[in-house]
Amino acid sequence: MKIDAFLTEQFFTEYEFSSPYLLAASDCETMSIGDLLAMSGSSLAQLGEIQLGYTESQGNPQLRKQISEMYLEASPDDIVVLTSPVEGIYLAMQTLLEKEDEVVALRPAYDALTNVAQHLCHQVLPWNLVPSTESWTLNFEELDSLVNEKTKLIIVNFPHNPTGYLPSPEEFERLVAFARDRGIWLFCDEIYRGLEWGHTIPSAADLYEKSIVLCGLSKTYGLPGLRAGWVVIRDETIRTELINWKHYTTICPASPTEFLASQAIRVRAALAERSKSIIEANLELCETFFEKHHQLFTWRRPQAGSVAFVEMNQNQLVDSSAEAFCHNLARDKGIVLLPGTCLGYEDRFVRMGLGRSGFQAALNALDQCLDQGYTGA
């Protein structure tokens, strides 16, 4: 294999559709096409009229206008509509990176964010999010030590999968200033944007002309089956080159998806509120659960997003491995937690997904197993 295994997808392939209790999903509760149409005041008849011809490669102009209105500094010309959010990572890395380049990428990370860069260029250096007692922190001294004249790109993702970390506006501006001073590109994955409870930060697209911003409707808006995503690129040369790469992958967005994405964006505030209220209720369940099981887990409440990264007490696990615990838990009990090792991190963390309405039943199932003394054996 010429590229590292996509461990998260491999893990989900094994368990996602055969296990009754999903506690690891990063997307939020979804809905039917009928429900989305009803919510947005459109009809099945309108969907039925959509032509199944090729569409504009860069994306439908009206949809790009709607998307651009989510940013302060972006125009419809700066938007490229994708055939899935994950496609944007592949296209951006192919566009920006040469063999001799170095990249700095936040760790832990969604696999694609590091693996595609790793496949294409000289080296990808991890910039570690560091666990503190209650949350996670960014270490700018470490970032400084990782960067040199070969560094082409810094890859970040805020709100962050899997920790739920969100930098303060000052920290985010510091990161942008750091990149700008050195002429380094910033790839900012903002797919969980809109799921904040406390502070918010601006989009990198509004702060930095050398940024590529990824977003889509899979997580915050609960519509992963739509495969709707986009990138915002203000630099015309890089945008044109990215569109050239797109001609080799998917050519153009799917017309039914563009229609439905446009309906969803019209009601995006309501969709995000729906996801947030599910997450808030699930976070309250977590508080009680982790207080009860504090000897096995260290809980760091996420600041934003739909996932949390939970530390496990290795001494209490068979083989001292959170990864083994996750596989056994899924096989023995049908309860799915994602091992932190899939996200490039130490073997004592698991990712928990908070956006699904089946969360309470799944958490109760895990609670029962632990009450019965289950340790992964």
Ligand X SMILES: Cc1ncc(COP(=O)(O)O)c(C=O)c1O
Q: Which residues bind ligand X (CB under 6 A)?
A: 26, 84-86, 110, 157, 161, 189, 191, 216, 218, 224
Q: What ranges make up the beta strands (E) of 66-167?
A: 79-82, 102-107, 123-128, 130-131, 136-137, 151-157
Q: How far is the CB of 354 from ligand X (least distance, A)?
A: 13
Nearer to ligand X, 101 or 189 (CB): 189
Nearer to ligand X, 193 or 210 (CB): 193
Q: Using DSSP, state whether 107 is helix, strand or coil.
A: strand
Q: How far is the CB of 169 from ligand X (least distance, A)?
A: 21
Please identify which residue in the block is written with the tokens 């996670």: 136
Q: Which of 354, 227, 199 is nearest to 278 (CA)?
A: 354
Nearer to ligand X, 26 or 30 (CB): 26
Amino acid in position 194: G
Nearer to ligand X, 161 or 282 (CB): 161
Q: How far is the CB of 255 from ligand X (least distance, A)?
A: 19
Query: Please, what is the Cα angle at 213 between 257 and 238, to 5 degrees?
Result: 95
Q: How far is the CB of 337 from ligand X (least distance, A)?
A: 15
Nearer to ligand X, 151 or 157 (CB): 157
Q: Which residue is nearest to ligand X (CB)?
A: 218
Q: How far is the CB of 84 from ligand X (least distance, A)?
A: 4
β-bridge mates for residue 128, sequence order: 107
Distance, in Å, from the CA atom of 128 to the CA atom of 144, rounded to the nearest integer, reads 12
Q: Residues 291, 316: contact at Cβ < 8 Å?
A: no
Distance, in Å, from the CA atom of 147 to the CA atom of 253, rounded to the nearest integer, reads 36
User: What's the token pair of residue 123?
Assistant: 């080296």
Nearer to ligand X, 85 or 131 (CB): 85
User: What's the token pair of residue 209?
Assistant: 């002309």
Q: How far is the CB of 47 from ligand X (least distance, A)?
A: 21
Nearer to ligand X, 85 or 340 (CB): 85
Sort 59 into a burial class: Cβ within 10 Å, 0-12 / 13-18 / 19+: buried
Q: How far is the CB of 143 from ligand X (least distance, A)?
A: 19
Distance, in Å, from the CA atom of 95 to the CA atom of 84, rounded to the nearest integer, reads 17
Q: Using DSSP, state whether 283 is helix, strand or coil.
A: helix
